[in-house]
Structure 1
Amino acid sequence: MPVIQANGCPIDVEVSGPDNAPVLMLSSSLGTTKHMWDPQMAAFTKDHRVVRYDRRGHGRSGITEGPYSMEMLARDAIAIMDALKLDKVNWLGLSMGGMEGMWLGAKAGNRIDKLILSNTSAHYPDKTMWHTRMDTVGKAGSVAAIADMVINAWLTKDFQTAHPDVTARMKEMMIATPVEGYLGCCAAVRDMDHREILKEIKVPTLIIAGSKDPATNVAAAEFIRDSIPGAKLAVVDAAHIANVEVPEVYAKEVLGFLG
């Protein structure tokens, strides 16, 4: 696992799969690590060289002073590509990873082959939720203060009941996120507005939405689809962390699009 210096921050990166295969780069949700993608790794690494990493302020990566911006986080991804000597990648980002992907597709489209934007949104017009979340975490000094609320957006109640072990691992991953990194990334999501740049995306794009996702709903996905020329939309039966809730269906959608 290499540690790559990305714009002044050490980023923990993992590379798996066949050396000469097409590259698939994965970017995770707020409050998760690269291990969020564990359910898909066997399927993805069969025919792809997979690059996954812990975002700035998360997991084993470094923490810099916030607030962060979506451009900063997307440029971290470009720094990883540069360090690994990757001219182009297929990009799969869920939630925040999708937000970074929108910026990359619009502003660094020459580095993207195909683009998958999963369970994500281009803009949050009402900032109240983000102010409240950041205030709660900051005062408590731990992401645990919002863990129950967030896990109910991440995974449906039925999934939580049927898979308590998976639910517990996801919750532990969230709680382990450093407060400074979490707040820095919350600010990036709060301040993001990608609505105007979506039309600049020219690469083949797939949007994945969860039919039961309360955080980034199907309407948000439809807006992104309608704003990107030629984009396609797939809706899966899941809440926000769709790749964890319906892992086989999710992998099938991704790999079917990548070809």
Structure 2
Amino acid sequence: MTVTVTNELNFFTTGDGVRIAYRIDGSEEKPVLMLANSIATSLGMWEGQIAEFTEHFRVLRYDYRGHGGSDTPAGPYSFDRLGRDVIELLDSLRIDRVHFLGLSLGGAVGQWLGIYAPERIDRLILSNTSSYLGPAEQWYSLIDSVLHTENLTGFADMFVKNWFPAHMLETENEIVSSFHRMVLATRAEGIGGSWAAIRDMDMRRTAALITSPTLVIGGQYDTVTLPSHSELLAKTVPNAELNIFPAVHLTNVELHAEFMSAVLAFLLQTE
């Protein structure tokens, strides 16, 4: 495992030879908060929250394999591999424990960590995510189509329609445009590989093994990870808190102030 440093992005190489990009912001004296992104985005999806988070935490962000500045190995991927990418990154930085906030795909990674590496997680936030998005059959055609597309424009249009409310899509919106560009910058193999991990995911029962204090955040109008998925997750994880916002999928962007208020209140609790 090797670690290299550039101006903004740092890189480390996983045990299976994949270079993963990451970034750290904030004071070394503060506890570490790790952020994990939605599929088809980069660590830039948290840019609007970094100033507030770094008032309280040292913030660690990273790009999944196939996303952002990271390498793109051939798929399919699995949550076992995506979870071990996190563990290896923490090991490379000599970080024992973190608070972990994952949204969408990141929330599924967070569930895996809470189940299989509980000793590495302090407080856990699972936002706009699910423990199961089956049946598996529905994913095969999507994976095949993204792997054989000539460009990702149609998929970028699909993603932003799933992520944002209608009023943000009706007129030119720089935030929406920035996320559209993030999708276009993602490699098809990264999207297809990650969809394969989602296809094979079922943590509906094992999520009951999570022991970290957990906050589940859902979107009332989320058509990707339905409110019922958040409700089931909150019922499954012992003593989990549940907060459903009047939002679509990217609650951190659409309802920034409300999202940050809930997240910081949860993370700054003293036991």
Smaller-chain TM-score bracket: over 0.9
Number of the residue aligned with 1:51: 60
Number of the residue aligned with 1:40: 49
Specify the SS of the correspondent of 2:83: helix
Determine which of 172, 176, 183 is the counterpart of 1:167: 176
Paired residue type of 2:187: P
Number of the residue aligned with 1:109: 118
Query: Residue 93 in 1 paired to residue 73 in 2?
Result: no
Number of the residue aligned with 1:157: 166
Q: For 1:129 and 1:21, how far apart are their aligned partners in 2? A: 43
Query: Residue 258 in 1 paired to residue 267 in 2?
Result: yes
Query: Structure 1 residue 122: deviation in Å?
Result: 0.4
Paired residue type of 2:80: E
Q: For 2:144 and 2:154, how far apart are their aligned partners in 1? A: 10
Contact residue 136 and residue 145 of structure 1 kept, 8 A? no
Number of the residue aligned with 1:224: 233
Query: Structure 1 residue 125: deviation in Å?
Result: 2.3
**Structure richer in helix, relative to its length:** 1
Number of the residue aligned with 1:195: 204
Q: Please, which runs of 5 or more residues in structure 2 have no aligned partner?
A: 1-8
CA RMSD of aligned residues (A): 1.2
Q: For 1:116 and 1:172, how far apart are their aligned partners in 2? A: 26
Q: For 1:239 and 1:163, how far apart are their aligned partners in 2? A: 18
Number of the residue aligned with 2:5: none
Identity %: 39
Number of the residue aligned with 1:141: 150
Number of the residue aligned with 2:186: 177
Alpha-carbon distance change, 145 to 137 in structure 1, aligned in 2, over 3 angstroms: farther
Q: Please, which runs of 5 or more residues in structure 1 have no aligned partner?
A: none
Count of matched residue pairs: 259
Q: For 1:251 and 1:168, how far apart are their aligned partners in 2? A: 22
Query: Residue 26 in 1 paired to residue 35 in 2?
Result: yes
Query: Structure 1 residue 128: deviation in Å?
Result: 4.1
Paired residue type of 2:14: A
Q: TM-score, normalised by structure 2?
A: 0.92
Paired residue type of 2:25: S
Number of the residue aligned with 1:72: 81
Q: For 1:194 and 1:142, how far apart are their aligned partners in 2? A: 33
Query: Structure 1 residue 9: deviation in Å?
Result: 0.9
Query: Structure 1 residue 140: deviation in Å?
Result: 1.3
Alpha-carbon distance change, 195 to 169 in structure 1, aligned in 2, over 3 angstroms: same
Number of the residue aligned with 1:60: 69
Contact residue 137 and residue 143 of structure 1 kept, 8 A? yes
Specify the SS of the correspondent of 1:91: strand
Determine which of 118, 123, 126 is the counterpart of 2:127: 118
Determine which of 2, 10, 14 is the counterpart of 2:19: 10
Determine which of 225, 237, 244 is the counterpart of 2:246: 237
Q: For 2:113 and 2:150, how far apart are their aligned partners in 1? A: 32
Specify the SS of the correspondent of 2:55: helix
